[in-house]
Amino acid sequence: MTRPNYRGRRVLSPLGAVLLIAVGAALAADPSRWLIFLVGVGALGLLDDLAAGPARGLRGHAREVARGRPSTGALKAIGTIGLAVYALAGQDLSGPEFALSVWVLALSAHLGNLLDTRPGRSEKALALVVVAVCAILWSLAPLAPVAALLGPVAVCAWLTLRERAMLGDSGASLIGGMVGVLLVTALSLYGEFRSINSAVGRVPLLQRLDSLGRVN
């Protein structure tokens, strides 16, 4: 399939379908919850690529839901949060750590889409996070959950930067999900040395998110 890019030039899209194949191959070799999360967010993005209506952005999809109309964007948002909860269910996390990690995963996947308005932006964001996380922790350990996908993403970047293809929501959501996995892995390693409870307590917004749904 081809679609017009931001300059009106028709390019191959969605390239994210190829990334989904790569994640599927990695999942067959290592059925981890992280890879299941990435397959899920990529598949939800692909649904948006193939079946999305005219609504765009969070407000557009919210209006569609308020009017009682089906919205792939709303399904993607709810599904991403559900996948994040599933991916983290096996982790030994406290309440604040769990809440923070769910939001990091879900918002990162959405951020991937927000960045994907020009060629290579999502891939560059992933590269910056890779460098920053590894430099701050002085370790390659955070890369372990997504290491098998870095090569395919580099190939995608080569194609998108040359305006031969577009990621689509499938690829952008998947790469954003990879950013989220890296950040959550880094948070987990950070928690080995510092108190995440104290860090959450110092940020009012995180405090509010953490307290949502509690009786006391």
Query: Residue 156's domain spans which residues?
Result: 12-211
The DSSP call for residue 120 is: T
For residue 69, pLDDT over 70 is answered with no
In a domain, 2, yes or no: no
Least confidently predicted of 41-45, 95-99, 101-105, 195-199 = 195-199
In a domain, 129, yes or no: yes
In a domain, 171, yes or no: yes
pTM confidence score = 0.82
Predicted pLDDT at 95: 80
In a domain, 97, yes or no: yes
Classify 11 as helix, strand or coil: strand
Q: 51 or 118: which carries more pLDDT confidence? A: 118
Q: What is the mean pLDDT of residues 73-95?
A: 87
Rounded alpha-carbon distances, angstroms, from residue 19 to 86, 107, 145: 21, 20, 15
- Alpha carbon distance 100, 184 (integer Å): 9
In a domain, 165, yes or no: yes
For residue 191, pLDDT over 70 is answered with no
Rounded alpha-carbon distances, angstroms, from residue 28 to 148, 153, 173: 12, 18, 21
Q: 8 or 23: which carries more pLDDT confidence? A: 23
In a domain, 146, yes or no: yes
Predicted pLDDT at 141: 87
Q: What is the mean pLDDT of residues 184-203?
A: 63
Predicted pLDDT at 147: 93
* Beta carbons within 10 angstroms of residue 213's beta carbon: 6
CA torsion sign, 118 to 123 to 129 to 135? negative
In a domain, 216, yes or no: no
User: Count of domains in the chain?
Assistant: 1
Please, which residues bridge with residue 10 across strands?
4
In a domain, 7, yes or no: no
For residue 35, pLDDT over 60 is answered with yes
Predicted pLDDT at 209: 56
